[in-house]
């Protein structure tokens, strides 16, 4: 065995790997979307497996509360206030120097995803918000790129491997013996992202580290199957686990593409990629505040329900017209003004990516 492959010997003994599979991994590029709890574990496992090039994108800086579950970081990273993507790059370079890591410190959005994802072999979800997942789903379907989707909050996690249907049916997973392994996309299953404030976040519901690592491990397993060409082994069901109640479910969703009328897969509408759906941000002149707006038709927000979740983080005042909450985010004070139509103003910053990060943490997008 070549010296360059010796570190992967036990992995190469697995069915479907061998030297050919390992060399496929070395020639692959994966885009890790987000470098929080999920993204850290995903990036580390992909690097240890020998995926040749990792691009890691994240907008955030490490804080002390991250260390409970974000395995690539330590206390010195917190002291040094290093961006998560850069800290991950440094750590991975010490784990596997043969892997090229590109750290992208930016806020993923419809204006930059095509640049950052150009030429990658797979997208792997380490995001903390639905808007980013739907954006990645649009990219995956439009360009025929596999997308491993996953998320975890509280003690619950969900994951699903998306092998998009392509216009000409010529993707590698559509032409293997035994028939196409193409799957429904995210919009086949849930046509639109849930409105802001309707789902729990790690800041409001907490998060159990083993739930994160379980989902991240599943995502990486699916990614390794895809990158080694083992499409017949990709899990066709949607995984849902609750580690607190000991419930594991695999939901059969294969017929969602055939039975549905997906705007993305079947009609070629890429609403999130085009910026038609999703959120926008505008700095408010002279006010040290950023206004966030959501372009799709969101349901009226449940301000009372959001207030219940936020009261543990500071003073909250509600009226029929708006909610105002004082948030102390790791020593940094912000005021969130939230309106029933999904519009929000984040006071305490003039930077759009900071405002979006605070909103995603406490409200969800």
> Which residues are designated catalytic?
202
List phi, psi (to 5°) of 58: -160, 145
- Residues contacting residue 23 through CB under 8 Å, at least 6 positions apart: none
Q: How many CB atoms lie within 10 A of CB 232?
A: 13
Of 345, 348, 342, 346, nearest in space to 365 by CA: 342
Residue 148, CA distances (Å) to 46, 112, 158, 219, 263 in order:
13, 20, 11, 6, 20
Which contiguous run of DSSP H or E holds residue 335?
strand 332-338
Tokens of 66: 């991250």
Q: CA torsion, points 62, 46, 146, 215, in degrees to nearest 10?
A: -70
Distance separating alpha carbons of residues 32 and 47, to the nearest angstrom: 11
Q: How many CB atoms lie within 10 A of CB 244?
A: 12
């Amino acid at each position: 065995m070549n010296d360059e492959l010796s570190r992967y010997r036990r992995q190469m003994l697995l069915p479907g790997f061998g030297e050919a599979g390992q060399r496929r991994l070395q020639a692959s590029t994966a885009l890790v979307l987000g470098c929080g709890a999920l993204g850290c574990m995903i990036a580390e496992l992909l690097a240890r497996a020998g995926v040749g090039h990792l691009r890691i994108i994240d907008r955030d800086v490490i804080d002390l509360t991250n260390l409970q579950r974000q395995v690539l970081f330590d206390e010195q990273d917190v002291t040094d206030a290093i961006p998560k993507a850069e800290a991950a790059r440094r750590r991975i370079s010490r784990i596997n120097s043969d892997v090229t890591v590109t750290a992208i410190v930016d806020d993923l959005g419809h204006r930059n995803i095509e640049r950052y994802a150009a030429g990658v072999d797979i997208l792997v979800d380490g995001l903390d918000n639905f808007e980013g997942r739907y954006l990645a789903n649009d990219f995956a379907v439009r360009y025929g790129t596999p997308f491993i989707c996953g998320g975890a909050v509280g003690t619950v996690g969900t994951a699903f491997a998306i092998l998009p249907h392509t216009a000409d049916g010529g993707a590698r997973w559509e032409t293997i013996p035994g028939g196409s392994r193409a799957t429904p996309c995210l919009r086949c299953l849930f046509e639109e992202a849930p409105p802001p404030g309707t789902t729990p976040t790690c800041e409001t519901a907490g998060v159990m580290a083993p739930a994160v690592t379980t989902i991240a491990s599943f995502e990486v397993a699916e990614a390794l199957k895809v990158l080694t060409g083992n499409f017949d082994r990709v899990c066709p069901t949607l995984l849902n686990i609750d580690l607190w109640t000991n419930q594991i479910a695999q939901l059969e969703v294969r017929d969602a593409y055939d039975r549905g009328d997906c705007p993305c897969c079947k009609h070629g509408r890429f609403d999130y990629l085009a910026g038609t759906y999703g959120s926008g941000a505008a700095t408010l002149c002279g006010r040290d505040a950023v206004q966030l707006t959501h372009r799709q038709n969101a349901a009226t927000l449940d301000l009372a329900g959001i207030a219940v979740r936020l009261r543990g983080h500071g003073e909250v005042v509600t009226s029929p017209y708006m909610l105002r909450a004082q948030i102390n985010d790791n020593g940094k004070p912000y005021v969130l003004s939230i309106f029933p139509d999904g519009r929000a103003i984040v006071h305490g910053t003039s930077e759009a990516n900071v405002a979006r990060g605070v909103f995603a943490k406490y409200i969800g997008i």
